[in-house]
Structure 1
Amino acid sequence: METRIALIGIIVENTDVAPKINSILHEYGEYIVGRMGLPYHKRDISVISVVIDAPNDVISALSGKLGMIPGVNTKTIYSKVTPQASK
C-alpha cells in the first residue's frame, strides 16, 4: 500500500480535551513520524503539529477524528513527494 507524508495542524481551544487528543494520536502511533505541541498561554490555546507517513485513508481518518472533537480545529497538508509503497 502506498503511503504519503502529511502534516496535520491542530489548534486546541479547549485544553480539557487533551486526553482525548492524546488517546487518538496514540491509536495512530505506528504512522506518526513526530509531533510537537506548543501551549500559547496568552490566548489560552495549544497548537500541535503532527507529521505522519501513512496511506491516504489513515491520514484522513486521523484528521477527521481529531476535527470532530469539540474545541479542536485541524488542517492537513500533503507532501507533493511521490507516494511510496509501505514496507
Structure 2
Amino acid sequence: METRVAIIGIIVEDNGSVEKLNSILHSYGEYIIGRMGLPYRERGISIISIAIDAPQDIISALSGKLGKLPGISTKTLYSKVTGKARREGSDEASD
C-alpha cells in the first residue's frame, strides 16, 4: 500500500470540540508521526500541526472528520514523496 507524508494544519476556535478532536487523533495514532500544539491566548484560539504518513484516503478521512467538528478548521498539505507502508517489525525503510 502506498503512503504519503502530509501535514494537517488545525485551527481550534471552539474549545468545546477539543475532547472529540483528541479522540479522533488518538484513533489515527498509528499513522501520526508527530503533533505540535500552540495556544494563542491573545486570540483565544489554538493552532495544531499534525505530521502524518498514511495512505491518501486515510489522510483525507482524518482531515474531513476533524473539519466537520464545530469551531475546527483544517487544511492539508501533501508531500510529493510517496512510499510503501512499513510492515510491523520490518527494518526496511519506506521508499
Classify the TM-score, shorter chain.
Answer: over 0.9
Residue 85 of structure 2: aligned partner: 86
Gaps of 5+ in 1: none
- Tell me by how many angstroms 1:46 deviates: 0.3
More helix by share: 1
Residue 24 of structure 1: aligned partner: 24
Gaps of 5+ in 2: 87-95
Q: For the aligned residues, what is the CA RMSD?
A: 0.5
**Higher Cα radius of gyration:** 2
* Higher RCO (CA < 8 A, seq sep 6+): 1
Give the alignment of 1:2-81 within 5 angstroms: 2-81=2-81
SS at 2:80's partner residue? coil
- Tell me by how many angstroms 1:55 deviates: 0.1
- TM, length-normalised to structure 2: 0.89
After superposition, what is the alpha-carbon deviation per residue over 1:12-59, rounded to whole angstroms, capped at 9, x for unaligned? 001121100000000000000000001000000000000000000000
Tell me the distance in 2 between the aligned counterparts of 1:69 and 1:17. 6
Letter in 2 for 1:84: G
Tell me the distance in 2 between the aligned counterparts of 1:35 and 1:85. 22
Tell me the distance in 2 between the aligned counterparts of 1:80 and 1:41. 34
Equivalences, count? 86
- TM, length-normalised to structure 1: 0.97
Runs of 4 or more above 2 Å deviation: none
